[in-house]
Amino acid sequence: MKVAIMQPYFFPYLGYFQLISAVDKFIIYDDVNYINRGWINRNNILINGKANLINVPLSNASQNKLIKDTFVVDDIKWKKKLIKTVEQSYLKAPYFENTILILKQTLNEGVNNISSLNHLSIKLICNYLEIETEIINSSTRYNNCEIRGQDRIINICKKENATHYINPIGGLSMYENNKFISHNLILSFLQPHLVPYKQYKNEFVPGLSIIDSLMFCSKSEIRDTLLQQYELL
């Protein structure tokens, strides 16, 4: 049983979905504190050949509040503006229609907090790419907020009867391998390899939102090739 745990990001980049596809259960870590200027309510898309931020406006964002308690501004105007921005940037992309539908379904569903919005987008994309990993919200299942750091990660893994925990490479310095071994857990880190694909006639810009990958690459290319381009360390 392989498990990964990550905060819910807004239309995260390809590496996030590599992590989801590499495990049996993916835990959306939504009962931890919101992070200012992180990826929870924003991401980059391609505009005029360069990375540019898009974002979801929040009404009560604070690093003293949990992600699940952080609410989206209830205003149709920003949703229309965001959709228009994406449409203008990708209208001529080969897979525009399928991708813009996912974006519109996410924004028009009527969810009122950023965790639910991001969870919805992640599920819709996984369904589209036929990724069968089970996705769970930490806030609905574990009741262990009093535990901190890697001890909480280990607690979640034990509750899921996991044998293998996989973390993004960015957390390499945060975890002690010996501690995981003492709980009969294998600890690995996923190092993504972002293989270039054609973005109009521009030089490839890596690390953009999955929106970009979905716009320019077919479902089978993403699922069978791009999602497999990683190594476990």
In the chain, where the domains are located: 2-232
Quote the pLDDT of residue 173.
Answer: 85
Structural contact between residues 17 and 4, judged by C-beta atoms closer than 8 angstroms: no
Of 207, 163, 170, 162, nearest to 189 by C-alpha is 170
Question: Does position 44 have pLDDT exceeding 90, yes or no?
Answer: yes
Please tell me whether residue 84 adopts helix, strand or coil conformation.
helix
What residues does 232 pair with on adjacent strands? 190
Summarised one tens digit per residue, pLDDT across range 89-108 is 999 999 999 999 999 999 99
Rounding to the nearest 10 degrees, give the CA dihedral for residues 72, 73, 75, 76. Answer: -30
Summarised one tens digit per residue, pLDDT across range 127-181 is 999 999 999 999 999 989 899 999 999 999 999 999 999 999 988 888 999 999 9
Q: What is the CA radius of gyration of the chain?
A: 18
Q: How confident is the model at residue 37 (pLDDT cuts 50, 70, 90)?
A: confident
